[in-house]
Structure 1
Amino acid sequence: MFSKASAPWWVAGGYAIELAVGRPLREHHDIDILVLRRDQLIVQDVLAGWEWWVADPAGLLRPWQPGELLPVGVHDIWCRPAEDTPWRIQVMLDESGEEGWVSRRNPGVRRPLAELGAVTVDGVPYLRPEVQLFYKAKTPRPKDEVDFAAVLEVLDGAQRRWLADAITCAYGPHPWAGLLTCG
């Protein structure tokens, strides 16, 4: 559905990890998509006819109105085809500046847009694994630890250094940072 989007987007979350390692790792309950805040209204275009609910304030859902621009601080949009169906897509909004992507967790963590994602053989864009793991590192859950362990085998030295630096910059000392420098 997002292939017709007029702005960049990336598969995120656990599916991004699986696309990076080339195999399924675990069960998923929805599909995560990352869109830059500046391009947020493409979600309404791509998912026309769906329900869109925004976590605003965090922890509570409210309908997202057509054409409504969500402010900084609002990051999650939950989407489903109809009221009586489960949530199918979670869209995460992230920040950008003149030089590219800017982490909403720490503006010191940045990356050019051209280095934010990768593309599958079929042309599906997904977040590079080190960027996705950066988000998962904030408060890792058991499934995040599974994803981290699987990605370690595919990260090259530059990806490991970027992730270790980004984690340390945003979160301080972290158990993953030490593991990234040992491989």
Structure 2
Amino acid sequence: MNVPDQQAWQAWTPEELSQRLRQVSRPWSVVGGWALDLWLGRQTRDHGDLEFTVLRDDFLLFRQALAPLQFYTVKDGTFAFLPTDRVPGEEIFQVWGFDAVANVWRVDVMLEFGTADTWVYKRDTSLVYPRAEMVAVSDAGVPYLKPAAILLFKAKHIRSKDQNDFNQSLPNLSCEDRHWLARHLALLHPDHEWTYRLENAE
């Protein structure tokens, strides 16, 4: 099967996704730039996609809830159609959902470690926290990963949108979140340019 145009995104909003997942009782949360906007309570920029995480073992449950989307695994820029009776291999951590009727991508599903009660940082699995401490819920009832964790992910590459997201978020971060992020940056990205600003923010 030919892979659809990778630029053909018309993502759902987090609220639209939440409606489609309203019958699913397993953990999930919006991540990426949308998570920051849910935290801030307003949309600060355009979002090309909609990223959310689920536990790997729960993928088929979420796939069923999002039927009739077609799903494609993504690894190192390579896309592969995922038949309905298949689960992603252990080497796969990202799956895109395609709406064949509208001919657009709708969601970017991230497969995460952890359990219903624990959150595990994908890039360093020694970092484990209670899920309840890492996930918040918007006023509209949409679960999202808290900003300090989102910014830790964004700190690795610092694309222009990631820098803008940090600039937008910094004045609104709690003292606790600033300390959490600074501590983890020191651990994973020593001498990161954001650390000084976090430590000197008022």
Q: TM-score, normalised by structure 2?
A: 0.82
Report SS of the residue matched to 1:44.
Answer: helix
Matches within 5 A, 1:82-97: 82=100, 85-96=103-114
Percent sequence identity over matched residues? 33
- Unmatched 5+ residue regions in structure 2? 1-19
Shift of 1:71: 3.6
- Residues 97/5 of structure 1: CA separation in 2 closer, same or farther (3 Å cut): closer
- Unmatched 5+ residue regions in structure 1? none
How many pairs are equivalent?
Answer: 182
1:45 aligns with 2:69: no
For residues 175 and 71 of structure 1, what CA distance do their matches in structure 2 show?
36
Supply the AA of the counterpart residue of 1:104.
K
Pick from 15, 35, 53: which aligns with 1:16? Answer: 35
Supply the AA of the counterpart residue of 1:3.
R
For residues 98 and 78 of structure 1, what CA distance do their matches in structure 2 show?
22
- Residues 178/71 of structure 1: CA separation in 2 closer, same or farther (3 Å cut): farther
Supply the AA of the counterpart residue of 2:193.
P
For residues 41 and 22 of structure 1, what CA distance do their matches in structure 2 show?
31
For residues 98 and 123 of structure 1, what CA distance do their matches in structure 2 show?
18
| RMSD, matched Cα | 1.9
Report SS of the residue matched to 1:96.
Answer: coil
Shift of 1:98: 8.6
- Residues 172/99 of structure 1: CA separation in 2 closer, same or farther (3 Å cut): farther
Q: Which has the larger radius of gyration?
A: 2
1:105 aligns with 2:123: yes
For residues 64 and 145 of structure 1, what CA distance do their matches in structure 2 show?
34
Report SS of the residue matched to 1:49.
Answer: coil
